[in-house]
Amino acid sequence: MQRTVDVVIIGAGVIGCSIAYQLARRGISTRVYDKNQIGAEASSAAAGMLAAQAEFMDSRPLFDLARQSRSLFPALAEELKACSGVDIGFVHHGLLRVARTPEDVLTYQNMASQHVGLGEEAQWLSPEQALELESGLSPSIHGALYFPQDGQVYASQLTLAYAQAAASYGAVFQEFAEVQEIIEDHGCVTGVRLQGEVIPCSNVIVASSMWTQELLSKNGLHVPLFPVKGECIAVKSMKPLLRRTIYTDGCYLVPKSNGEIFIGATVHPHSYDRKVSIGGIAALIQAAEELIPSIRSAEFSRAWSGLRPQTPSGLPYLGEHPMLKHAFIASGHYRNGILLSPITGMLMADLIEGKPPAADLTPFAIPALPKQQRVKEELITGV
């Protein structure tokens, strides 16, 4: 009589669902619990960019992981469609990282050389060349770095597709089910507690965004994570304003396959607040106009926000917790959860199976920190 599940995944965001899909495909008994609905948080708020080259200019470990993950999308889109019927909206029209200052120009040209040296496509475009590709761009830009392989998906549909495909392979999902505690015995996971009930299991994978921190604090562990709130808007335009994703430091514009353009995103570290402020909307509109002046007359469609989980190092946690056996963490993907979800699913499944993982996980190791004890008698500060 089998009395336990192999793996309990806590969190049905894009990361938890991708892991569930990989595990279930490999025949491993898997349950996924989420305190809300599938993809309810950051996974649905994401613009769905697959900016493997544009995003990581400084971080080599993420850059490598991101390119590896991006390369999985073409096959994945087919698989998920076949298993689940859900279309993830994968397209790769390319992405332009726009130079807005003379300083950017040299930086981006160097970048292009490096990427080409690593075997990736990357092309420096003069302002004239950039406007030839995207005629809506402002003539005042200083050029652009063009990544023809960067693409995009529909973030919420990707999450749903993972979940339904996982379910088709036997994974069990329970929504509105908050795991309150990971049960351990002698430093080893034995189960999870869920609304008064205990579910025994051999392994736990915590993919709970920044809530991972609070959950593990009950086991005396400290996994530093914090939210970075981002606000976005979507606009519609009868006249097509752009075909490729436009990306700069303060703003990106992603043309979606239903004719909408997503404009994102503000950056508010340490904000748990989910409100979309009108100041945030005004800032997005201003930034978008600087890139695509005629977007000012586009029709407003909607506004939303999401809380992206960040770590102090900027690298996600991927691995087993060094102080709690069989407790795995896959959290802290910041704004790259969509892009990194395919490789994260594979790597975590490898770890569960005891296989050598498909990428070097050393940079993503979880630090061995006990729960912090704060001095209790702090002065109250104004709120």
The DSSP secondary structure of 77-142, one letter per residue, reads HHHHHHHH------B---EEEE--SHHHHHHHHHHHHHHHHTT---EEE-HHHHHHH-TTS-TT--
190 binds a copy of itself (CB under 8 A): yes
For a copy of itself, which residue of 297, 312, 355, 360 counts as binding (CB under 8 A)? 297
Judged by CB under 8 A, the stretch of 152-160, 318-326, 338-346, 359-367 that binds a copy of itself is: 152-160
DSSP 221: B
The encoded tokens of residue 222 equal 């400290």
The answer to the question of residue 285 lying near a copy of itself (CB under 8 A) is yes
Least separation in angstroms between residue 222's CB and a copy of itself is 10
Q: Which of residues 262-281 bind a copy of itself (CB under 8 A)?
A: 271-279, 281
Q: Is 118 in the site for a copy of itself (CB under 8 A)?
A: no
Q: Does 133 bind a copy of itself (CB under 8 A)?
A: no
> Side-chain half-sphere of 313: how many Cα atoms within 13 Å?
15
Stated length of the chain = 383
Q: Is the Cβ–Cβ distance between 147 and 54 less than 8 Å?
A: yes
Q: What single-letter amino acid sits at 178? A: E
> Residue 61 or 191: which CB sits closer to a copy of itself?
191
172 binds a copy of itself (CB under 8 A): yes
The secondary structure element, H or E, covering residue 17 is helix 14-25
The CA–CA distances, whole Å, from 170 to 13, 76, 211, 298, 309 equal 18, 18, 26, 45, 29
**249/95 Cα distance (integer angstroms):** 14
By CB under 8 A, the residues from 78 to 107 that bind a copy of itself are 81, 84-87, 89, 91, 93
When asked if residue 238 is in the footprint of a copy of itself (CB under 8 A), the reply is: yes
Q: CB 261 → a copy of itself: shortest distance, Å?
A: 10
Identity of the amino acid at 264: G
Q: Judged by CB under 8 A, which of 298, 346, 347, 348 binds a copy of itself?
A: 298
214 binds a copy of itself (CB under 8 A): yes
Q: What is the residue whose two structure tokens read 């470990």?
A: 61
Q: Judged by CB under 8 A, does residue 128 bind a copy of itself?
A: no
3-state secondary structure of 54: helix
If one asks whether residue 186 binds a copy of itself (CB under 8 A), the answer comes out as: no
* Half-sphere exposure (Cβ direction) of 160: Cα atoms closer than 13 Å: 15
> Which of the stretches 173-181, 325-333, 335-343, 347-355 binds a copy of itself when contact is defined by CB under 8 A?
173-181
Contact (Cβ atoms closer than 8 angstroms) between residue 83 and residue 165: yes
Find the part of the chain contacting a copy of itself (CB under 8 A) among 118-126, 130-138, 165-173, 343-351: 165-173
Residue 135 within binding range of a copy of itself, rule CB under 8 A: no
The answer to whether 362 contacts a copy of itself (rule: CB under 8 A) is no
Min CB(363)–a copy of itself separation in Å: 26
Binding a copy of itself (rule: CB under 8 A), the pick from 116, 180, 188, 358 is 180
* Binding flag, residue 157, a copy of itself (CB under 8 A): yes
> Which residue among 10, 111, 112, 160 contacts a copy of itself (CB under 8 A)?
160
The answer to whether 43 and 156 are in contact (CB under 8 A) is yes
Residue 166 interacting with a copy of itself (CB under 8 A): no
Q: Tell me how many residues contact a copy of itself (CB under 8 A).
A: 82
Residue of 372, 3, 12, 376 whose CA lies nearest to 206 = 12
Region binding a copy of itself by CB under 8 A among candidate stretches 46-54, 194-202, 310-318, 351-359: 194-202
Region of 195 on the Ramachandran plot (φ > 0 left; ψ -120 to 50 alpha; else beta): left
If one counts every other C-beta atom within 10 angstroms of the C-beta of residue 211, the result is 21
Q: How is residue 274 written in tokens?
A: 């989910």
In whole angstroms, how close is the CB of 378 to a copy of itself at the nearest point?
6
Helix or strand or coil: residue 26? coil
- 21-80 positions binding a copy of itself, by CB under 8 A: 31, 37-38
Q: Looking only at residues 332 through 351 of this chain, which bind a copy of itself when binding is defined by CB under 8 A?
A: none
Least distance between a copy of itself and beta carbon 117 (Å) = 32
> What is the Cα–Cα distance from 280 to 284, expressed in whole angstroms?
6
CB of 246 to a copy of itself, least distance (A): 14
CB of 242 to a copy of itself, least distance (A): 9
